[in-house]
Chain A
Amino acid sequence: MIEVSNLSFSYGLKPVLKNISLRLEGGNIYGLLGENGVGKTTLLTLLCGLKKPQKGSIVTDGRNPFDRDPALLGEQFYLADEPAPVHAKACVFGSSTGSLWPKYDQAKFLEILSEFEVDPDQMMDTMSSGQLKKTWISFALACNARHYFLDEPTNGLDIPSKSQFRKAIMKHTGEDSMVVISTHQVRDLEEIIDPIIILDKEDVLLNASLEQISRKLFFDYGTQIHSDALYLEHTPSGAIQVYPNTSGEESKVNLEALFNAAHSHKTTVKALFHE
């Protein structure tokens, strides 16, 4: 479990995160959404211990991630938006670097690589950015970590690879694993992420499970236009509307519509979920 309390972080005089509190539980795949520059990557790097909180605290399983205890590092994996190329064959990189993770499984690494159709004998510094990313994703999952922090993992992946990524995440992470995925590509990950965290400038706009969201907001895919809609988007088959759920009826959450509704009606959405 990760407990974030009153976390603040700024770059020089520019505050990015201000007094943020969150609780992240194992067994979930969190989707971290937000506009450019609201601090998604900053939050991920703080959670994994690459940055030190300037105010407040982060406690991961009773430990401070910035201490970079090897025991904690062995239970987590941070995958950057643009992972570094390595001057080694993928299989050699896997066996040599993987030896540092206590639960690393080389057979699993090769299996996921094969699912992604990446040649394990190819030098990683000659791979395309998509292939490199797939290699790093395969490696991350083969580490059998408990906490994953993935920054824009589907960026640069082709369409079949995005689908393969979803399958790999569902198949190769443990039941008690916590995955935090920062993304702009909500459609790529719509089927796997739950709960959803939406960051706003310096703040958390929403942190709720899909069930909670569906209880509070109604996603209407019909053609009748509602005047109290927080968000309305016309589609070829009608419209997508988001409005407060007063009837208690369940609906399928559309993440893009949710994000746009939350973004355009910040106070309403925040109040709705803080009730």
Chain B
Amino acid sequence: MNNNFFSGSRFWAWFKYDLRQMWQNHFKAALGIGLAGLIVYVIFVSWNLIFEGTWQGPGLGARIATFMLAGTILELYQTRTYGYLTDKRKGSSFLMLPASTFEKWLSMILMTLIVIPVIFLAASASVDTLVCLLDPTVGDSMLKVLSDNFNSISKSLAEVNGEIQEDFGFGLGIVTGPAIAAFCFNFLFFLLCGVCFKRYKILWAFVIIFAGSTLLSILGVTLDWNVNTDTVDTLRSFLGAATWIVAGIAACFGAGIFLRLKTLQH
């Protein structure tokens, strides 16, 4: 392979550099977002102490909702992690650092899809577990509930229109495939918006989401799309196709980010 395209040692040097940059600028934010559960816990307990006179922490539902909200904020935050590339001074520095565009891109993708989400998940799970260990009023932790009900969640998801699919792998697959594809789609979409738009990055992202949804709705009505999920097989086919389409679009976002890096000028 051409050394100017990818070199293991150079990539490792770049990845370490990128990690340090992330640590100095963005990991603390990812950790902070992951600690949202603790903030909600303090608010809940304080509220109940002041207005109810009892010590009562947030239940499972409130904690899951907090986790989902924090996850959404983390998604939006992806417009900021590499958003500085559109800034003339910082973007110029980035482009002039000696690593190939592919190496810079690969590191960016790894940070966005693995490193930052892992930090967020670790922070969220640790806070939730710690809160549940220290305060019995909140009940079981999200991790314990997930592990206790893993089997039944998978099986119940396999039950469609009365037809029960006992295959454990099917139930698991029906959740994980689309979830991973949707996760990649969302994170890469906001990252792409971050490196493409100079200003109002989140606003532009929402404008595109709105325009895209409207277009899809119009197409759906016009072409009379009819999704048949009456049986396990048709549901499996539909979800399989949808997962591949979403994953394909996410891959296009990834390619778009590479293209943007390659053609960015300051």
Contacts and interface: CB of A to CB of B under 8 A. Distances in A.
Given A51-B265, A84-B90, A87-B25, A70 B10 contact: yes
Given A99-B13, A100-B17, A84 B89 contact: yes
A87 B24 contact: yes
B161 interface: no
A208 interface: no
Contacts of B99: 70, 73, 100
B98 A70 contact: yes
B194 to A, nearest CB: 17
> Chain B contact residues (Cβ within 8 angstroms of A): what range?
20 to 34
A84 B20 CA distance: 17
Interface string B1-26: 00110010010011011001000110
A96 B17 contact: yes
Interface string A84-107: 100110000000110111100000
Contacts of B3: 71
Contacts of B24: 87-88
A64 to B, nearest CB: 12
Contact of B17 (A73, A80, A99): A99
A69 B14 CA distance: 14
A130 interface: no
Contacts of B98: 70-71, 73-74, 100-102
A244 interface: no
Contact of B97 (A45, A67, A97): A97
Contact of A73 (B16, B90, B97, B266): B97
A77 interface: yes
A68 interface: yes
B123 to A, nearest CB: 21
Interface in A40-69: 45, 48-52, 67-69
Interface string B85-124: 0011110110111111101000000000000000000000
Nearest to B101: A68
Nearest to A50: B266
Contact of B4 (A70, A77, A101): A70
Q: From B16, B89, B98, B100, name the one whose CB has the most chain A CB atoms within 10 angstroms.
A: B98
28 contacts: A45-B266, A50-B266, A51-B265, A51-B266, A68-B95, A68-B100, A69-B4, A69-B100, A70-B4, A70-B7, A70-B98, A70-B100, A71-B4, A73-B96, A74-B98, A80-B88, A80-B89, A80-B92, A80-B93, A84-B89, A84-B90, A84-B93, A87-B25, A96-B16, A96-B17, A100-B13, A100-B17, A100-B97
Interface of B: 3-4, 7, 10, 13-14, 16-17, 20, 24-25, 87-90, 92-93, 95-101, 103, 263, 265-266
